[in-house]
Structure 1
Amino acid sequence: MRIGIDVGGTTVKGLALAPDGAVLAEHRAPTPAPDPDGRRVVAVVAEVARALGHRPGAPVGVALPGVVDETTATAVLSANLGWADVAVGHLLGDLLGPGALVCHDVRAGAVAEARTGAAAGAAGVVAFVPVGTGVSAAVLVDGVPLRAGGFAGEIGQLVLADGPFRGLRTEQVASASATARRAGLPGAVDVARAVHEGDPAAQRVWAETVDVLGQSLAGLVAVVAPAVLVVGGGLALAGDLLLDPLRARLAALLPGLRVPRLVPAAHGDTAAARGAALLAGDAS
């Protein structure tokens, strides 16, 4: 049995996987944030692990948001948790034993989608871009995540150089939460529904999101040339309403270059926990 726990978002999500990848158990608990020293969050992680049947020293992967240095098991910057240079690996080791592995939530999600999800069987370079409360990317090269000290893939932090949103970061415009906020609706699914129903204000916001997201993805594609680009997060729930215009935008921005196969994520909000379990199993 392998256990993976995802600390991102408002909920700590845990999965226990069988050797064949089947889900044996799932457990969730509220994330106690902000938590500057990390101790309350790590205590909840330990509770979730025990609820899933973890035994001290057994493999368990813990996926963290923000900038994560996996080599030192440190949360360099996890803004929604209030973390800066928190030695999470040390805290986890005290409660879970030496089998605890720290990883990044988006890179872990990419591993899950590449091995058992939307990009299963794809060779070479695969990219995973969840578009939820923020925008981030993970790049796998032959199944291995590109890390660069934890800073790789932060496309949501790109500052827009021109246009109506000049000076804002990509995720301040094109994340699921920003799209909903700009449309004055509760969530991205509500915006997609309004777009489908022909609401002109929602359609304008949606087109702006596709344009800005397309610009960031075009830069990623031009540099690493993924064969498959998996789009996840709340915005991807819109399916082809998002992916069709995004494909067209990428084709327009990348003349003469290969446009990757765009597919929706398969594992939903459990991708990071699944990937964390897989990575913990690899390391054991």
Structure 2
Amino acid sequence: MNTDTILGIDVGGTGIKGAVVNTRTGELLTERVKVMTPKPATPKAVSKALRKLVDQIGWKGDYIGCGFPAIIKKQVAHSAANVHKNWIGTNVAEVFGKVVPADFFVLNDADAAGLAEMRMGAGKKCNGVALMITIGTGIGSALFSEKVLVPNSEVGHVLF
């Protein structure tokens, strides 16, 4: 089982991006490819767009890491601010695995970005509390305490 090279995918409210990544160095091994997120962003429509992205990249490997714009627990979506509400209660990895024969690991999109930053970027030397904010179609966040992710912080959805 070689997990040194995976396909990394970011499903966003506007676009779905992907590239092959070296998981040891964080280096992109292919150009980043983008397809538009379909409207409405139902499970079937997003799966079709994801298949198109994977085909454009030419990925034939076993593993895909996927950031998804929702609260994710055990690969199941528990919110859907920037995708169709039909995602709520859906196992995202299972849905995507039906259209792309690979093992998917799905987590909140901002959490994925935060983990990468803590492992490869500015967060490497950060101790204590760290907060990463993502700005795209929506506002996301990744919260860390002593380098440990506090998953699904979603500060963009906090009611004031």
Q: TM-score, normalised by structure 1?
A: 0.49
Which residue of 1 is the match for residue 34 of structure 2? 28
Task: Report the alpha carbon displacement of residue 92 of structure 1 after superposing the two structures with TM.
Answer: 1.4
The letter of the residue matching 2:41 is D
Which residue of 2 is the match for residue 259 of structure 1? none
Task: Report the alpha carbon displacement of residue 124 of structure 1 after superposing the two structures with TM.
Answer: 4.1
Q: Which ranges in structure 2 are unaligned for 5 or more consecutive residues?
A: none
Q: Count residues in correspondence.
A: 152
8 Å contact 2:82–2:138 — kept in the other structure?
no
Which residue of 2 is the match for residue 127 of structure 1? 131
Residues 86 and 33 of structure 1: CA distance in aligned 2, closer, same or farther (over 3 Å): farther
C-alpha distance in 2 between matches for 1:9 and 1:134: 8
The letter of the residue matching 2:159 is V
The answer to which structure has the higher strand fraction is 2
Q: CA RMSD in A?
A: 2.1
Matches within 5 A, 1:220-239: none
The answer to which structure has the higher helix fraction is 1
Which residue of 2 is the match for residue 75 of structure 1? 77
Residues 52 and 121 of structure 1: CA distance in aligned 2, closer, same or farther (over 3 Å): farther
Residues 76 and 54 of structure 1: CA distance in aligned 2, closer, same or farther (over 3 Å): same
Which residue of 1 is the match for residue 122 of structure 2? 118
C-alpha distance in 2 between matches for 1:110 and 1:31: 22
* Equivalent of residue 39 in structure 1, options 30, 44, 50: 44
Task: Report the alpha carbon displacement of residue 98 of structure 1 after superposing the two structures with TM.
Answer: 4.6
Residues 99 and 122 of structure 1: CA distance in aligned 2, closer, same or farther (over 3 Å): same
Task: Report the alpha carbon displacement of residue 105 of structure 1 after superposing the two structures with TM.
Answer: 0.3
CA deviation string 1:91-126 (max 9, x = no partner):
112122351111110100101111222223223432
8 Å contact 2:13–2:83 — kept in the other structure?
no
The letter of the residue matching 1:79 is A
The letter of the residue matching 1:27 is V
8 Å contact 2:82–2:137 — kept in the other structure?
no
C-alpha distance in 1 between matches for 2:52 and 2:136: 26
8 Å contact 1:5–1:49 — kept in the other structure?
no
Q: TM-score, normalised by structure 2?
A: 0.81
Of structures 1 and 2, the one with the larger relative CO (CA 8 A, separation 6+) is: 1
C-alpha distance in 2 between matches for 1:52 and 1:144: 32
Matches within 5 A, 1:31-180: 31-36=37-42, 38-55=43-60, 58-69=62-73, 71=74, 73-83=75-85, 84-147=88-151, 152-160=152-160
